[in-house]
Amino acid sequence: MKQSRKKLLTLAGVILLALAIWRVSGLLTPDRALPPVALEAPDYYIENVTITSMDSSGERRYLLKAKQLAHYPDTGVSELKLPELTQYDTAGGPVVTSADHGELTSDKSRILMKGRVKMMRKQIDGAVDVITSNELTVELDQSKKREADE
pTM comes to: 0.66
Q: Residue 46: count other Cβ atoms within 10 Å of its Cβ.
A: 15
149 neighbors 122 (Cβ within 8 angstroms) = no
pLDDT band at 149 (very low <50, low <70, confident <90, very high): very low
Q: What angle do CA 52, 57, 60 make, to 5 degrees?
A: 25
84 neighbors 65 (Cβ within 8 angstroms) = yes
Over residues 14-23, the pLDDT tens digits come to: 565 555 565 5
Sorted by where each begins, the domain ranges of the chain are 1-33, 44-141
pLDDT band at 8 (very low <50, low <70, confident <90, very high): low
Over residues 51-72, the pLDDT tens digits come to: 998 888 888 889 999 999 999 9
CATH number of 44-141: 2.60.450.10
CA 2/CA 63 separation, integer angstroms: 86
HEC-encoded secondary structure of the chain: CHHHHHHHHHHHHHHHHHHHHHHHHHHCCCCCCCCCCCCCCCCEEEEEEEEEEECCCCCEEEEEEEEEEEECCCCCCEEEECCEEEECCCCCCCEEEECCEEEECCCCCEEEEEEEEEEEEECCCCCEEEEEEEEEEEECCHHHHHHHHC
